[in-house]
Amino acid sequence: MSDPRSTSPAVRVVVAVLLIAPFVVYLAVPSYARVEPRLAGFPFFYWWQLLWVILTAVFIGVAYRLSRRARPARPADEEDD
Amino acid sequence: MDDVNGVELTVFLIFFAAVTVMGFLAARWRRGQTIMHLDEWGLGGRRFGTFTTWFLLGGDLYTAYTFIAVPAAVFASGAMGFWALPYAAIAYPIVFLIGPRLWSVSHVHGYVTTADFVRGRFGSRTLGLAVAVTGILAMMPYIALQLVGIQAVLTVMGVKGSGLARDLPLLIAFALLAAYTFTSGLRAPALIAFVKDTLIYLVIIVAVIYIPTKLGGWGHIFDSAQSSLAKPNPATGRPSGALVTGDMTHWAYGTLALGSALALFIYPHTVTGALASGRRDVIKRNAALLPAYSLLLGLLALLGYMALARPDVAAAVRAAKNPQLAVPTLFDHVFPGWFAGVAFAAIGVGALVPAAIMSIAASNLFTRNVYTAFFRPGATAAEETRVSQFVSLLVKIGALVFVLAFDKTLSINLQLLGGIWIVQTFPSLGLGLYTRWFHRWALLAGWAVAMVYGTVTAYEQHSPTQKHFAQSTADIPFLGHPGYIALTAFVINMIVVMVLTVIFRAAGVPDGTDETRPGDYTADADEPGVTDLPELVTD
C-alpha cells in the first residue's frame, strides 16, 4: 500500500481488507444496536464497539507490518527521542 | 456548589501555573538555529519521533471535546452521543492511508500547510486559498469548544458570577495561552502534552475504576442510566434517549462517525502535528498506536452515564440546564477535593494544548496561503513567523466570538459545525493525494456548492431553545432519515466535482500544472530530495 513499486498484489489486497473492515463493522449500525448479550455489565452495543477499537488498532498494525516487509530492507529506524 | 471550592481551586491553579512556566520554557527545548522561522515556530523544526508525535497528535485529538462535550452528549441523549467512538476508530485507517503520503510530498516540496499541497498539486493559488480559508474558519468553533470546556470546570469549582466577573478567569487563561504560544510556537503544546496526557490517563483510570465501584458496578450504571433516559424530557415530552440507537437514529449515528472521521486528519492542527514528525513511518506507526486514546474516549463517554446514575449529580446538572457540567459535577461529588482539583486541571490543560496547536495551524495557513501567496510574495522567513504569531492571536479572538454568539447547551455542535466545513476540502486534499484526475475548477465549484449547502442547512436547524445551528444533522435528501450535514454536503461536493471534471476536460478548459511526481508521495527521510528544513538554508 505504501509503495506500489515493491508491494505484491496479494499483500495489497490483504492490506485493503484490513483497512476497510473497521468501516464495514462500524457503519452497519443496526447489526450491533442491541443490549444483549451483556459482558461484565456492558450492553452489547458498547462492548462490541470498544472491542473493535482494539481490533482496528491490531488490523492497522498488521497492515503496517505487511506493507513494510514488502519494501526493500532499510536500516532500523533511529528514534530521536 | 455555590461557594468557591478552595481545595479544588488551589490544586487546579498550581497545575495551571506549572504548565504555564513550562510553556514559556519550551522555546529552549530541542531548539534549532532560530525560532524566527515558520518551520521552527510552526512545525517545531519538524523533528519529532514516534513518541513525541503520539503525544502531540493525541493532544490534538483528545481535548475538552473528549472530556466535556462527548460525555455531555451521552448524558443528554444516550446511545446517540456514543458515535464519537466509531469515529475515533475509523479515523485511523484514513490516517494510515493519507498521512504518510502527505508527509512525503510535503517534505519533498517544503509544504507547511494543507493548502500549500493543494496549490502545488493542482497548480491553483485560488484552490489553495479556498482550502486555507476553510481551515481557518473550521478551527474557530473547535477552539471555542475548548473555551467552553474550561468554563465548565471553572463553573463547577464555584468561579462564577455575572457579566465580566464570569468571563474573567477564562480571559486570563487564554491570555496566558496566547502569550506562550506566541513565544514558543509548537514546542509549547508538544512539551505540555506530556503533562496533560499523564494527568488525563491518571484521571481516566481512577475514574473508570473508582467511580463504578462507588456506583454499584457497570451493570447498575447502565440500568440506572436507562431508566433516567426513559423519563420524558419536560421540554419535549419525549424520552431523552435510550441505551441503543433506534430505527430513526442509525443513519445519524453512522454518518456522524464517518463524516467526522473524514474530517479528522485534514484539520489543519492534526496535519501540523503529523508534518512535525521526523519520518514517514512515524505516522503509520501512530495510526496503529493512537486508537489507545479512542478506547479511553469510549470509557470517558460513559462518564455521562455515571452522571445519570448518581441522582444528585443528574439533578444538579439538569437544574443548571447545562449538560456540559455532567463530568465536572460528577468529579466534584465523587472525588475528594484534592483529586477533583487534579481532574479539573487535566481537563483545563487538556483544553489549552489543542487550542494552542489549533491557533498555530490556522495562523500558518493564513501566513503561507493568504498573506505570502497574495500580498507579500517576497516575505522573509522572519516576517512570516511574525505574521503567524499575530494571526494566532486573532484566531483566538475569533474563537471567543463563537463562544459568545453560540448556544453552549450542546457544545459538541461547535465541533460538528467545523466538521461540516473542513470535510469539503477532502476531495482536493485526501483524494488529491491519490489522484490528479479532478479538474482544479471542478474542485473549486464542488467546494463552493457544498460550503453553501452545508452552512445554510446547519443555519436552518432549530430547536425549542434555539433558532439557528441547533444541531448538525438534517434529513438526507431522498432518504428520509436524519444524517450528518457534512456527509450529505460531501456527496453533493463529489457529484459536482466529477460532473464538472468530465465537462471541463471535454471542453479543454486549461488545467493547472502538477508540480509533484508520483515518487514524491512515497519518499522517506534520508532519501535524496527529502529535506528536514528546506528553508533554513536560505535563512
A55 vs A50, A60, A62, A68, B203, CA distance in Å?
A: 9, 9, 10, 20, 25
Q: Percentage of chain B surpassing pLDDT 70? A: 83
Q: Inter-chain contact B257–A26, Cβ cutoff 8 Å?
A: yes
Opening angle at CA B343, ends B340 and B345, nearest 5: 110
Q: For the domain made up of B6-26+65-411, give the CATH fold.
A: Sodium/glucose cotransporter (1.20.1730)
pLDDT at residue A71, rounded to an integer: 54
pLDDT at B277 exceeding the cut of 80 = no
pLDDT at B425 exceeding the cut of 90 = yes
Domain range list for chain A: 9-69
Residue-averaged pLDDT of chain B: 80
pLDDT at residue B538, rounded to an integer: 23
Residue B30 pLDDT level (bands cut at 50, 70, 90): low
pLDDT at residue A50, rounded to an integer: 93
- CA of B324 vs chain A CAs: smallest distance (Å): 22
Q: Which of A23, A65, A67, A69 is best to mutate for the B interface (most B CBs within 10 A)?
A: A23
pLDDT at B328 exceeding the cut of 80 = yes
pLDDT at A74 exceeding the cut of 60 = no
Residue B528 pLDDT level (bands cut at 50, 70, 90): low
Kindly state whether A64 is in contact with chain B, defined as any CB-CB distance less than 8 angstroms.
yes
pLDDT (tens digit per residue) in A21-45:
999 999 988 888 888 888 888 889 9
Contacts of the segment B376-383: beta carbons below 8 A, 24+ positions apart: B381/B36, B381/B37, B381/B38, B381/B535, B381/B538, B381/B539, B382/B36, B382/B37
pLDDT (tens digit per residue) in B233-246:
766 667 777 788 87
pLDDT at residue B473, rounded to an integer: 81
Give me the residue label for grid cell 502535528: B273
Opening angle at CA B401, ends B67 and B91, nearest 5: 40
pLDDT at B523 exceeding the cut of 50 = yes
Is the bond leading into A4 cis (omega within 30 degrees of zero)?
no
pLDDT (tens digit per residue) in B355-388:
877 888 888 888 888 888 788 777 777 787 788 7
- ipTM of this complex: 0.82
State the cell numbers at B345: 486541571
pLDDT at residue A78, rounded to an integer: 40
Give me the residue label for grid cell 508540480: B515
Query: Looking at per-residue confidence, does B56 or B515 come out higher?
Result: B515
pLDDT at B505 exceeding the cut of 80 = yes
Instruction: Out of B97, B294, B524, name the one closest to residue A19 (CB).
Output: B97
- CA of A73 vs chain B CAs: smallest distance (Å): 13
Residue B448 pLDDT level (bands cut at 50, 70, 90): very high
Residues of B whose CB is below 8 A from A50:
85, 295, 298-299
Residue A78 phi, psi (nearest 5): -95, 120
Residues of B whose CB is below 8 A from A64:
96, 284-285, 287-288
Domain range list for chain B: 6-26+65-411
* Nearest in space to B295 (alpha carbons), one of B97, B463, B92: B92
pLDDT at B225 exceeding the cut of 90 = no
B406 vs B65, B145, B459, CA distance in Å?
A: 16, 10, 11
Kindly state whether A42 is in contact with chain B, defined as any CB-CB distance less than 8 angstroms.
yes
Mean pLDDT computed over B486-492 = 92
- CA of B250 vs chain A CAs: smallest distance (Å): 6
Q: How many CB atoms lie within 10 A of CB B502?
A: 13
Instruction: Out of B97, B218, B246, name the one closest to residue A40 (CB).
Output: B218
Q: Give a three-class secondary structure readout of B30-50.
A: CCCCCCCCHHHHHHCCCCECH
pLDDT at B307 exceeding the cut of 70 = yes
Q: Based on the number of CB atoms within 10 Å of its own CB, is B21 exposed (0-12), middle (13-18) or buried (19 or more)?
A: exposed
pLDDT at B190 exceeding the cut of 80 = no
- What would you report as the CA-atom Rg of chain B, rounded to the nearest whole angstrom? 23
pLDDT at A73 exceeding the cut of 50 = no
Chain B, nearest residue to A3 by Cα: B522
Q: Give the bridge partners for B473, in sequence order.
A: B484
Chain A, nearest residue to B87 by Cα: A26
Residues of B whose CB is below 8 A from A5:
522
pLDDT at residue B423, rounded to an integer: 93
- Give the separation between CA B362 and CA A30, rounded to whole angstroms: 38
pLDDT (tens digit per residue) in B112-163:
888 989 999 998 889 999 999 999 888 888 888 888 888 888 888 877 666 6
- CA of A34 vs chain B CAs: smallest distance (Å): 6
pLDDT (tens digit per residue) in B42-62:
555 555 666 667 766 766 666
* Nearest in space to B390 (alpha carbons), one of B427, B423, B414, B360: B360
Instruction: Out of B49, B82, B93, name the one closest to residue A80 (CB).
Output: B49
- The number of C-beta contacts closer than 8 angstroms across A and B is 125
Residues of A whose CB is below 8 A from B522:
2-3, 5
Q: Which of B66, B96, B224 is best to mutate for the A interface (most A CBs within 10 A)?
A: B96
Q: Inter-chain contact B245–A43, Cβ cutoff 8 Å?
A: no
Kindly state whether A56 is in contact with chain B, defined as any CB-CB distance less than 8 angstroms.
yes
